Structure 1
């Protein structure tokens, strides 16, 4: 099988990390670790959940994409992807829609994009439930990036799998079909 990167995208709270974890648990498809300058949330571990960076160390990496949300930097590095591909043929990554467009442009058919969507009320409930600060949550939901990521970008329309994630069991079945399509190619 050729190398593949499953790019999971959508707005915050649509289930991107949940689907990444599902791919790891069911198919042993590991996530490519991304980098961030934000502090770890409760239970998060450096080198497991993210590469937690300072502004200085963050600037030294070679990024396929990077973005700033709520004053923090996030990005996925070429080094992290190449390191993952040394051990597996298929990996996953969670990025915003701008990042997904970058992956699709750079990697073409090697990048398999899954766009997750859900209504704003469900997203707000999920973000609040995971312990996000209410004031930051409000800022995030009102941000241009969040609004942009609620809809599939034109650059990905027809070039990605669009999944409405209201029921995780239905979503998992749709993701199973994506993985099975990869295996048949």
Structure 2
């Protein structure tokens, strides 16, 4: 029997550990990573075509996006080509999106999209994670005061009946929850 392609959509607030959890899935389960596009500058140790396709406004506009948003003055988007490329490598792929993007994928892919909402109960943990990853104080203040940050702190009503909520105050606890879900769903 051929398995249906699945896409794990990781969403939640900035600093919740979405990228760390994506990397866990890639490294421990060999899930294919969907590389997305952004106009923001690379962070320390990020590589073009590995972490993101780093673009300018002109090149960003030439892509075929399934969804795209503007967040903290930068554009982010995921392309059909990126999704298909990931599925060529593995029937189960993973992508990191904000909650608005997760809603779009849920609507467009239906049961193929497995929504993992990453939740952190302590805002101090979120801020400390942003500091640890090298975000500037100005960038952190901008993100923490944004509408998008507030929106992404809780599961949107459109995803409440389908999202798997994963508490990530402690990474080992989150990994155990993820292990159970991946073995059941993928």
After superposition, residues 19-34 of structure 1 pair within 5 angstroms as 19-34=21-36
After superposition, residues 30-179 of structure 1 pair within 5 angstroms as 30-118=32-120, 119-179=122-182
Question: Do the aligned residues in 1 keep the contact of 2:32 with 2:89 (CA within 8 Å)?
Answer: no
Which structure 1 residue ranges, 5 or more long, are not aligned?
Answer: none
- 2:90 counterpart SS class: coil
- Once residues 17 and 44 of structure 2 are traced to their aligned partners in structure 1, the CA distance between those partners, rounded to angstroms, is 18
Instruction: Report deviation, 1:120.
Output: 1.4
- Once residues 30 and 124 of structure 1 are traced to their aligned partners in structure 2, the CA distance between those partners, rounded to angstroms, is 29
Question: Do the aligned residues in 1 keep the contact of 2:118 with 2:166 (CA within 8 Å)?
Answer: yes
TM-score by length of 1: 0.97
- 2:84 counterpart SS class: helix
TM-score by length of 2: 0.96
Instruction: Report deviation, 1:64.
Output: 1.3
Instruction: Report deviation, 1:17.
Output: 0.2
- Once residues 107 and 40 of structure 1 are traced to their aligned partners in structure 2, the CA distance between those partners, rounded to angstroms, is 29
Indicate the RMSD between aligned Cα atoms, in angstroms. Answer: 0.8
Which runs of 4 or more aligned residues in structure 1 lie more than 4 Å from their structure 2 counterparts after TM superposition?
Answer: none
Which structure 2 residue ranges, 5 or more long, are not aligned?
Answer: none
The number of residues matched between the two structures is 183
- 2:23 counterpart SS class: helix
